[in-house]
Structure 1
Amino acid sequence: MRYQAATERYGSMKYNRCGRSGLKLPAISLGLWHNFGGTDTFENGRAMIRRAFDLGITHFDLANNYGPPPGSAELMFGQLLKTDLAPYRDELIISTKAGYHMWEGPYGDWGSRKYLLSSLDQSLKRMGLDYVDIFYSHRPDPETPIEETMMALDHAVRSGKALYVGISNYTAEQTAVAAKVLKELGTPLLIHQPKYSMLNRWIENGLQDVLEENGVGSIAFCPLAQGLLTNKYVAGIPTDSRAARNGFLKERDITEETITKVNKLIQVAAARGQSLAQMALVWALRGGRLTSALIGASRVSQIEENVAALANSDFTQEELDLIEEILK
């Protein structure tokens, strides 16, 4: 049966303006970094994306190397666009990135104009799109001038292959330079995608100030610290977890000190009537300095739980003080 989006999909989602742009993003966005590649079950990914959109998640975040194997997440999403989401294209924000290793040779990595624009063409082909809504430089290149990388992003917009541009993993100082160059080129920097969570707060030491000064939005990846800010690891390392598979989350990251903090945070969340994952998401969004929190998921129920967090997004000062005391 042909997919029809839920008629009430915009009823409960919150949408935040991205910096000083005219674009709004859902408070919760869905990332396709894991669980949507060629080694994963298509129907499970399809069910998650459908349910996400039915819940008001309009922003789907990809990158050229997402999978595994690299490129397969874009292929999967492109197939779903064709079969399910094509009628809703103008309701979607689709982003992709280039900056990590994608193909062999000197032109398949980092931040050169050659690599970024070639990669964007490949991403569009995989997804069957004429344009993406946001195209990112996935990481700064220590050997390519920021000016060259930003000129490539500017060209992506002027050629009609992207509506907006963003950067990811740039320091505060690099972000200030990137924003200045893009402003001079006439293509404002829309958004920065940094890693941010209760357990990784580096953006509070300058980056958020730079973003506000330049009218740039932000979307945090790993707001649940790859599962640490859930109850998944409080009783050990499950055999099917990322840490057990020695992925980006390592066993060495799951220390006794961290688990002690997590257990205390679980108690604070329970007093709020939330899971720790729900509290961690709305904590990241507190104060309005973050435009959107980018979640990953392996099943539909996780998406439903995360979106439900927005129903209780306010904190008392006592709660915030207690969380700070636990995290310090």
Structure 2
Amino acid sequence: MAYRASEDRYDNMQYRRTGRSGLKLPAISLGLWQNFGGTRDYPSAFKILSYAFDQGVTHFDLANNYGPPPGSSEELFGQMMVRDFAPYRDEMIISSKAGYDMWPGPYGEFGSRKYLIASCDQSLKRCNVDYFDIFYSHRFDPETPLEETMGALASLYHQGKALYVGVSSYPKKETIEASRILNEMGVPLTIHQPSYSILNRWIEDDGTLDTLGELGVGCIAFSPLAQGVLSGKYSKDKATGTRATEPGSSLFGRHLETGVLAAVDALQDLADKRGQTLVQLALAWVLRREEMTSALIGVRTLEQLKDNLGALSNLELSDDELKIIDDAAKGGMMDLHPQPGGWLR
């Protein structure tokens, strides 16, 4: 039976304007980074993505290297576009990115014009769409002139392959320069996608978030749960049997240090008092800033998705609660400032 979206799919979702653009995103967007690759079967993936869309999650975020293996998340999503989502394409915001290693040789990663444009064309084919709503430079390339990287995004914009363009994991200085270069080409920098959570505040520390507000650029935070650390499944005695112990995990040792786990336990106490899960508290905190357009979540199961969406029922945080969160987080902050070449994702 062909998929038919719920008629009340827009009743409960909040939509926020992306900077000073006309683009609105759901407060919670769904990313396909690690959980929708070659090991995910179509029925289970469709169950999660169709439920998300039925709840008003109109934004699905991908990248050329998402999987594993690289490209497989876009391929799976492309199957869904053909089989189930095609009638709803104009209701969807579909994004992709290029910047990380995709094919052998000197032209298969980073920020050259050759790589970005070739990668976008490949991603469009894998996703079975004619254009991306948003296309990003996935990481700053310190060895390629920023004029070249932004020029490639501008070309995709003018060709209609990307309705909006953005950057991901760019530090403050490079974000300002990227915006200036694009403006000179008649292309707005619409959105920035950095990592951001209660335990990872680099965009506050270096002024990037304030700068986005000043520039009128939207912000969508990835890893708002700090790679699952703020899911509630990690504590001083809960790390075994989770993704933290899996080979190739993107969780690093610094994510699960004693100070981090103590912070998680303290934050869990506040979540309990609010009648929320820790996931919901963490998402409410990320979305508290007016510069923040959306929180980009990643889920493995339908139950996790429902838990994340539950944050929308209570996004208000009092000054006292914000102070409790700050105090709890002090001993567990993660230094995840982007390094030359970008954040590993």
**So what's the TM-score if we normalise by structure 1?**
0.98
Q: Which residue of 1 aligns with 2:290?
A: 288
Matched ranges for 1:134-283 at <5 A: 134-205=134-205, 206-234=207-235, 235-283=237-285
Give the percent of matched residue pairs that are identical in Structure 1 and Structure 2. Answer: 55
Check whether the contact 1:102–1:108 (CA below 8 A) recurs between aligned residues. Answer: yes
CA deviation map 1:279-322 (0-9, x unaligned): 00010010322110000000011111111111100011111111
Name structure 1 gaps, 5 residues minimum.
none
CA deviation map 1:94-124 (0-9, x unaligned): 0000000000111111000000000000001
Q: Which residue of 1 aligns with 2:68?
A: 68
Measured in 1, the distance between the counterparts of 2:114 and 2:252 equals 34
CA deviation map 1:160-186 (0-9, x unaligned): 111000000100000000000001100
Quote the offset at 1:216 in angstroms.
0.2
Measured in 1, the distance between the counterparts of 2:244 and 2:28 equals 22
Measured in 2, the distance between the counterparts of 1:317 and 1:66 equals 38
Measured in 2, the distance between the counterparts of 1:107 and 1:244 equals 31
Measured in 2, the distance between the counterparts of 1:123 and 1:242 equals 30
Please identify runs of 4+ aligned residues in structure 1 that moved more than 4 A: none
Matched ranges for 1:13-162 at <5 A: 13-162=13-162
Q: Secondary structure at the match of 2:243?
A: coil
CA deviation map 1:19-54 (0-9, x unaligned): 000010000000000111112222211111001101
Change (3 A) 1:159 1:27: same
Q: Secondary structure at the match of 2:231?
A: coil
Measured in 2, the distance between the counterparts of 1:85 and 1:54 equals 12
Q: Secondary structure at the match of 1:287?
A: coil
Check whether the contact 1:243–1:251 (CA below 8 A) recurs between aligned residues. Answer: no
Q: Secondary structure at the match of 1:100?
A: coil
Check whether the contact 2:212–2:291 (CA below 8 A) recurs between aligned residues. Answer: no
Moved more, 61-70 or 208-217: 208-217
Quote the offset at 1:247 in angstroms.
1.0
* Aligned partner letter, 1:85: F
Quote the offset at 1:241 in angstroms.
1.8
Quote the offset at 1:252 in angstroms.
4.6
Aligned Cα root-mean-square deviation (Å): 1.0
Check whether the contact 1:243–1:250 (CA below 8 A) recurs between aligned residues. Answer: no
Check whether the contact 2:172–2:211 (CA below 8 A) recurs between aligned residues. Answer: yes
Measured in 2, the distance between the counterparts of 1:133 and 1:140 equals 21
Q: Which residue of 2 aligns with 1:322?
A: 324
Q: Secondary structure at the match of 2:227?
A: helix
Measured in 1, the distance between the counterparts of 2:246 and 2:64 equals 26
Measured in 1, the distance between the counterparts of 2:149 and 2:308 equals 35
Measured in 2, the distance between the counterparts of 1:174 and 1:14 equals 31
CA deviation map 1:242-278 (0-9, x unaligned): 4433411024531111111101100101111100010
* Aligned partner letter, 1:23: L
Check whether the contact 2:5–2:53 (CA below 8 A) recurs between aligned residues. Answer: yes
Change (3 A) 1:243 1:194: farther
Q: Secondary structure at the match of 2:221?
A: strand
Measured in 1, the distance between the counterparts of 2:135 and 2:289 equals 27
Q: Secondary structure at the match of 1:229?
A: helix
Name structure 2 gaps, 5 residues minimum.
331-345
Measured in 2, the distance between the counterparts of 1:203 and 1:285 equals 14
Quote the offset at 1:64 in angstroms.
0.3
* Aligned partner letter, 2:103: W
Q: Which residue of 1 aligns with 2:336?
A: none
Check whether the contact 1:244–1:251 (CA below 8 A) recurs between aligned residues. Answer: no
**So what's the TM-score if we normalise by structure 2?**
0.93
Measured in 1, the distance between the counterparts of 2:46 and 2:148 equals 37
Q: Secondary structure at the match of 1:288?
A: coil
Quote the offset at 1:240 in angstroms.
4.0
Check whether the contact 2:243–2:249 (CA below 8 A) recurs between aligned residues. Answer: no
Q: Secondary structure at the match of 1:37?
A: coil
Q: Secondary structure at the match of 1:152?
A: helix
Measured in 2, the distance between the counterparts of 1:236 and 1:245 equals 18
